[in-house]
Amino acid sequence: MKYPIIFTVLLLISQAVQLTAQQLIDDTKVIKVLMFENEHKDKKRMINETARIKYKLRSDSKQVIKGTLEDIKKDKMIVDGKDVYYNDCSMIAGRVFNEEVLAGGIMSGTGLTTIIFGAALAGNIIVGGTIVGSGLAVLVAGIIMVTKSKRFNLDKGWEVYGAEIIYNPAT
């Protein structure tokens, strides 16, 4: 008769400790991003802080400046220690995170797996070679999708501003 009561009390204590521990730990993450919006196309894209970017200034539209995005503010970005105001830029380019990057990652994994599977069938040259060739094509297409950058022409409908994404991975 004692054991069910002790078990119930221990269970209630462990639940209380678990709830308290969950409330004490704050895993909230803040990611600063450059947010690009085009109202005519109804599209939104973003570039993360610490990304490699290229940009053109309105004062010298021929020169493309490259650098690392060190910090993002509401009206300016800091690239390699220099303040660059969004109003001074005519174009900003960088690696964008969207559905295409996810698809490219899946394609890269599928291509690599297909190459390995085709190599396992190397005994039959025609079948194995065909599978390896198609796997290589999918792998290359996936790598291109993951690594390509997107250009945002700020004179053709794109607007840019600094934003923050706040999320908690524990929830």
Q: How confident is the model at residue 165 (pLDDT cuts 50, 70, 90)?
A: confident
**Ramachandran quadrant class, 98 (left: phi over 0; alpha: psi -120 to 50; beta: rest):** beta
pLDDT given for residue 3 in this prediction: 61
Three-state DSSP class for residue 142: helix
Q: How confident is the model at residue 2 (pLDDT cuts 50, 70, 90)?
A: low
Q: Is the pLDDT of residue 25 over 70?
A: no
Question: CB–CB of 164/30 below 8 Å?
Answer: yes
Q: How confident is the model at residue 9 (pLDDT cuts 50, 70, 90)?
A: low
pTM: 0.63
Q: Is the pLDDT of residue 54 over 80?
A: yes
